[in-house]
């Protein structure tokens, strides 16, 4: 596993044993970062388990595939009748849809034939690969070790921006800092030459001024129910602590603001000391004798190592995991994103997010010659264990609590988030 943090173009690389630490490049700016979600348009809340048979190469589509794409025979006949009509805009749209449909069909075919994103011999644990199936599995008593993995999306309803949502994400709103590229604000080499932008931002988003969200409290509820093995977070806003999740249940993969260190002599500083420096608009400098080194909160920057605890705990926890719940993350930053591949091959994985994330585009996998590219298999025809609950995390968590029969317990926790 890579020991420095890096941004990866797709979740495909999640299965690469040692991804090279990447310097975030300007072309990887928000919106351009190629995420791992598949192009197959399935929508809804659940992964697909349908097989796609032999439609490749012919202009006509297999009836099963048509059904999956929501098309009817009449539509096809209509297309034939309309052959000589002028090409107006509507028809162009139809053409685009046709093309998308064909690409999706082609992808399914390739995934099916080449067993991309599938584990053909692995038994299915879920009775149905759906949110209902996940809930049923949780209720069955078989689940003892839930791991939750989270990103900035669980904190946006608290008023903290995420990173990559176009328009509102942090990386879309850094013009005033005149950075060479947005991720530079968290790049250790850039920080050493120009720490000011980071400290200005740190003042704006200083932890301690926000409240936990219902999503944090749902994770706390999993702990209260005795089901939470560990919560892995990329967030540095400390809201998991505020929500009452005990420190030993947390792995702060991208570090913490609670301590700081001098980059030169490694002298440690407290959160109070750092807070005072930040709120006095100072660039924190080491007070050690003749040092004057730059002091940085212990959050993980690009090209820095993750905390030792991350590597120690992942090795112990992930083999034991019997349900992985991933919330509010684009799964684009390594090595965190590749953790989804560290659970046992049968382990169900539930993604609660505004959009699909962490899946490999089957075409990319094919082009890169990857038989088993890793990542979530949400759109694979062989998907036996991955489900996405699309929408707001808070709503997804409330829905899960409701379906699990935990509504009352969940609501008891909620006032703490207001």
Site for Zn ion, residues 260 to 279, rule: CB under 5 A: 262, 264-265, 267
Can you spell out the DSSP letters for 358-408?
SBPPHHHHHHTT-SS--SB-TT-TT-SSEEEEES-HHHHHHHHHHHTT-HH
Q: Does 179 bind ligand OAD (CB under 6 A)?
A: no
Question: With CB under 6 A as the contact rule, which of the stretches 107-115, 123-131, 159-167, 200-208 interacts with ligand OAD?
Answer: 159-167
Report how far apart, in Å, the C-alpha atoms of 224 and of each of 220, 242, 244, 250, 274 are: 6, 15, 10, 14, 33
Q: Return the C-alpha torsion angle 6, 9, 14, 17, nearest 10.
A: -60
> CB 295 → ligand OAD: shortest distance, Å?
18
Does the annotation list 265 as a binding residue? yes
Q: Which of 398, 397, 410 is nearest to 150 (CA)?
A: 397
Write down the catalytic residue from 241, 254, 266, 382.
254
Residue 262 marked ligand-binding: yes
The one of ligand OAD, Zn ion, none whose footprint includes residue 12, by CB under 5 to 8 A per kind, is none
For Zn ion, which stretch binds (CB under 5 A), given 51-59, 86-94, 288-296, 380-388?
A: 288-296
User: Is 286 known as a binding-site position?
Assistant: yes
* The binder of ligand OAD chosen from 357, 365, 389, 398 (CB under 6 A): 357
Neighbouring C-alpha atoms within 13 Å toward the C-beta of 362: 25
347 is in an annotated binding site: no
* H or E, element range at 180: none
Query: Using the rule CB under 6 A, is 151 a contact of ligand OAD?
Result: yes
Q: Report the alpha-carbon angle 221-161-193, nearest 5.
A: 120
C-beta of residue 387 within 8 angstroms of C-beta of residue 46: yes
Cβ 197 to ligand OAD shortest distance, Å: 13
Binding mask 2-31 for ligand OAD (x = CB under 6 A): ---x--------------------------
Residues 87-126 as x/- pattern, contact with ligand OAD by CB under 6 A: ----------------------------------------
Residue 254 annotated in active site: yes
Secondary structure string (H, E, C) spanning 8-31: CCCHHHHHCCCCCCCCCCHHHCCC
Query: Binding segment for Zn ion among 124-132, 147-155, 157-165, 258-266 (CB under 5 A)?
Result: 258-266
Contacts of 140 (CB under 8 A, 6+ apart): none
Distance CA 406, CA 400 (A): 8
Nearest-CA neighbor of 379 among 154, 136, 129, 5?
129
Q: Which two tokens stand for residue 22?
A: 């990447």
Answer with the entry of Zn ion, ligand OAD, none that 112 interacts with (C-beta below 5 to 8 A by kind). Answer: none
Q: Which does 143 bind (CB under 5 to 8 A by kind): Zn ion, ligand OAD, none?
A: none
Binding-site residues for Zn(2+) sit at 262, 265, 286, 291
Show binding-site residues. 262, 265, 286, 291
Residues classed as catalytic: 254
Binding site for ligand OAD (CB under 6 A): 5, 151-153, 156-157, 162-165, 169, 186, 234, 254, 300, 302, 328-330, 332-333, 353-355, 357, 392-393
């Amino acid at each position: 596993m890579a020991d420095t943090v890096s941004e990866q173009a797709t979740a495909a690389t999640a299965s690469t044993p040692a991804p090279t630490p990447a310097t975030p490049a300007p072309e990887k700016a928000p919106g351009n970062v190629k995420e791992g979600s598949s192009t197959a348009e399935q929508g809804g809340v659940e992964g697909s388990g349908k097989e796609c048979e032999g439609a490749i190469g012919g202009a006509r589509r297999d009836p099963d595939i048509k059904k999956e794409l929501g098309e009817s025979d009449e539509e096809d006949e209509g297309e034939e009748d309309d052959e000589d009509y002028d090409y107006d805009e509507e028809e162009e749209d139809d053409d685009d849809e046709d093309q998308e449909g064909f690409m999706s069909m082609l992808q399914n075919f390739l995934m099916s034939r080449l067993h991309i994103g599938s584990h053909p011999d692995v038994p299915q644990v879920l009775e149905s690969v759906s949110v209902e199936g996940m809930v049923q599995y949780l209720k069955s008593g078989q689940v003892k070790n839930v791991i939750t993995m989270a990103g900035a999306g669980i904190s946006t309803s608290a008023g903290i921006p995420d990173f990559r949502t176009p328009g509102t994400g942090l990386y879309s709103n850094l013009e005033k800092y005149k950075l060479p590229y947005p991720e530079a604000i968290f790049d250790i080499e850039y920080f050493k030459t120009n720490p000011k932008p980071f400290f200005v931002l740190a003042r704006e988003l200083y932890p301690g001024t926000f409240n936990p969200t219902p999503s944090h409290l749902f994770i706390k509820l999993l702990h209260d129910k005795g089901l939470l093995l560990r919560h892995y977070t990329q967030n540095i806003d400390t809201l998991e602590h505020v929500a009452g999740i005990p420190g030993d249940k947390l792995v702060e993969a991208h570090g913490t603001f609670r301590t700081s260190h001098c980059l030169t002599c490694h002298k440690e500083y407290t959160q109070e000391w750092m807070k005072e420096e930040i709120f006095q608009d100072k660039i924190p400098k080491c007070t050690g004798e003749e040092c004057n080194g730059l002091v940085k909160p212990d959050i993980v920057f690009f090209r820095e190592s993750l905390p030792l605890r991350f590597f120690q705990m992942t090795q112990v926890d992930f083999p034991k995991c019997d349900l992985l719940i991933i919330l509010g993350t684009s799964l684009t930053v390594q090595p965190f994103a590749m953790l989804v591949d560290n659970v046992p091959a049968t382990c169900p994985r539930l993604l609660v997010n505004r959009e699909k994330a962490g899946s490999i585009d089957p075409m990319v996998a094919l082009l890169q010659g990857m038989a088993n590219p890793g990542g979530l298999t949400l759109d694979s025809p062989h998907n036996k264990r991955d489900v996405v609950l699309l929408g707001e995390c808070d709503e997804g968590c409330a829905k899960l609590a409701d379906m699990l029969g935990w509504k009352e317990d969940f609501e008891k926790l909620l006032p703490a988030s207001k």
